Amino acid sequence: MAAPTLTTSAVLASTAARQGLGAQPFAGDIPALASALVGLHATEPTSIYLSAWARLASFTRDDMERALFEERGVVRWLAMRRTLWVVAADDVPLVHQACAPRLLGPEERRLRQLMVLGGLADEVGASARAAQIEADILAVVGELEQAFGTDISARVPEMKTTYPYALDKPYGGRFSLGSRINSVVCLRGGMVRTKPKGGWRSNQYSYALRERWLPGVDPESMDPAEARCGLVRRYVQAFGPVSLDDVQWWTGFTKGQVRQAVVALGTQLAPVRVQGEHEEQWLPAEGVEDVLSAVPLDATRVSLLPTLDPLVMATKHRRRLMDAEGYALLHDRNGNAGPSILAGGRVVGGWVQRSDGPVVWRLFEDLGAEATHALEAQAARLEVFLEGERVMPNFPTPLMRELRN
């Protein structure tokens, strides 16, 4: 049987609906949202708040604080593409076992190299020294219950060791090993990032022992191959139709691992074609009819999405969401997406918050009076949510530079 061909408008409408960006907000709490999206991008600290704000009705920053630090239904975790995410606590074994085995070896090798560069160990003794430092870190974090990097380095002096990097470049210098070591310890599952110093815009996280912060959650309770299959299925369910190149890019898996997962999933995935796109793509088998019957979104359904929003970052090329001109304006040279305006399921412009507080934007096309009024209302709503605090992403894009000047 030939793969069905889906219209772009139906695909955009269906994807937006699954994301809580369609006609109705997402029907669930923060852990359910994180699970449905397979994680919220957390490299930019404020993005997790703004991605949830765009999808959940009556969302407040306190809601995210409770979910992260009191109820602990979600947690920051290093996973796909060595990126920091906020994932549902129940999904930790899935994302950890799918991603950590591939990430950990290179990260440990790089740490040993930097220890040698910093004079902390020679090549022969670097592994043993790293293991001892990790044990010392976990002992400090266990004793203090929650510890910031400064608390750890005060008790584990090796954390203050510096190494040279690109000394002949303007961005070069000597950098501390501390954050690199903590990242490896977190990637191994020994501790987790918890409440930051300085509020919701800060990435100066404290750390807690994983078994104390998430009792009953065993990151290694899944088989890695099973976890990779599960992660691929969850990704396709959240963002499909997607190509195999999209799956590889988003997961960070090898091509072989992606093919193995797709073969293992078998009839759980259905091949489809999208109008105007050449490559074969995939949807969960039970989701094909939902896309075929999806009603195109009205352009008056407008959402303001933050830097690194999961929807915009979900695929490799993003041609379905925007044209080449829009892509060039909304992304930095590494492919990081800046703040975007979604209307009718497509990215139609970008926004930024000026230094004096107002949210300003540029559209790539005329939306008409009604949609423009909806955009103005969303911008005013966002200013209320920000409560006078400024959100300045760490990934400046050409459009952000243009608008904030």
Is 224 inside a domain boundary? no
Give the pLDDT of residue 166: 83
Q: Which residues pair with 274 in a beta bridge?
A: 6
Q: What contacts 106, CB < 8 A, 6 or more positions away? A: none
Distance (Å) of CA 380 to CA 347, 376, 388: 19, 6, 12
Is 250 inside a domain boundary? no
R_g (Cα) of the chain, nearest Å: 22
Whether residue 335 contacts residue 317, with contact meaning beta carbons closer than 8 Å, is answered with: no
Distance from the first to the final alpha carbon of the chain: 55
Number of independent structural domains in the chain: 1
The one-letter code for the residue type at 287 is G
Is 381 inside a domain boundary? yes
- What is the rounded distance in angstroms from the CA atom of residue 226 to the CA atom of residue 21? 30
Is 254 inside a domain boundary? no
Is 22 inside a domain boundary? no
Cis peptide before 241 (omega within 30 of 0): yes
Is 185 inside a domain boundary? no
| pLDDT tens, per residue, the chain with 405 residues | 678 999 999 999 999 999 999 999 999 999 999 999 999 999 999 999 999 999 999 999 999 999 999 999 999 999 999 999 999 999 999 999 999 999 999 999 999 999 999 999 999 999 999 999 999 999 999 999 889 999 999 999 999 999 988 888 887 889 999 999 999 999 999 999 999 998 999 999 999 999 999 999 999 999 999 999 999 999 999 999 999 999 999 999 999 999 999 999 999 999 999 999 989 999 999 999 999 999 999 989 999 999 999 999 999 999 999 999 999 999 999 999 999 999 999 999 999 999 888 999 999 999 999 999 999 999 999 999 999 999 988 889 999 999 986
216: left (phi over 0), alpha (psi -120 to 50) or beta: left
Give the pLDDT of residue 1: 63
Q: What are phi and psi of 303, to 5 degrees?
A: -130, 140
- What is the rounded distance in angstroms from the CA atom of residue 188 to the CA atom of residue 196? 21
Residue tagged 């949210």 (tokens): 359
pLDDT tens digits along 123-135: 999 999 999 999 9
* Domain of 359, in residue numbers: 302-404
Is 148 inside a domain boundary? no
CA dihedral for 393, 394, 397, 403, sign (positive or negative)? positive
The one-letter code for the residue type at 133 is I
Give the pLDDT of residue 170: 81
Give the pLDDT of residue 145: 84
